[in-house]
C-alpha cells in the first residue's frame, strides 16, 4: 500500500467510525425520547442540517427494539471525536433526566 492509498484508507475508516458515532448518538436520543436534530442544533446552533445525522436517524429503531446505550458510553464516543459541545448538551439532558426520576 503506497502513501496515497494508506491516506485514503485512513480517511475512509475515520468517516465510517464517525458515522457509527452519529448513529450511536441518534439511537441514544431515541432511547431517551429526545429529538437528535434538536439536540444537535442546541450544540451547534450555527451549523446547517447535518446530512450524516439525518441518514443515521433513518437507521434508528424504536426504543423497544434498541440495545441499551449507556450514558457513559455515549459521552466517551462523543469525546473520542471531539464533540465536546454535543457532549455538554447530552450531559445536561442526563442531569435533567436524573432529577425527574
Query: Measured between alpha carbons, how far is 9 from 31 in angstroms, rounded to an integer?
Result: 33
The residue range of the domain holding 52 is 3-100
What confidence tens digit (pLDDT) does each residue in 37-72 have?
999 999 999 999 999 999 999 999 999 999 999 999
The pLDDT > 90 percentage for the chain reads: 88
- pTM comes to 0.91
Number of domains in the chain: 1
Let me know: does 89 contact 38? Beta carbons within 8 Å. no
Q: Where are the alpha helices (DSSP H) in 1-101?
A: 3-31, 36-43, 51-59, 71-80, 84-100
Q: Which residue has the cell 455538554?
A: 88
Amino acid at each position: 500500500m503506497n502513501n496515497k492509498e494508506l491516506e485514503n484508507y485512513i480517511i475512509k475508516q475515520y468517516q465510517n467510525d464517525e458515522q457509527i458515532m452519529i448513529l450511536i448518538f441518534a439511537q441514544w436520543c431515541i432511547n431517551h425520547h429526545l429529538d437528535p436534530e434538536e439536540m444537535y442544533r442546541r450544540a451547534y446552533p450555527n451549523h446547517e442540517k447535518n446530512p450524516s445525522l439525518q441518514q443515521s436517524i433513518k437507521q434508528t429503531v424504536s426504543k423497544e427494539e434498541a440495545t441499551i446505550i449507556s450514558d457513559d458510553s455515549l459521552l466517551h464516543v462523543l469525546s473520542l471525536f471531539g464533540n465536546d459541545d454535543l457532549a455538554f448538551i447530552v450531559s445536561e439532558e442526563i442531569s435533567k433526566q436524573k432529577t425527574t426520576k
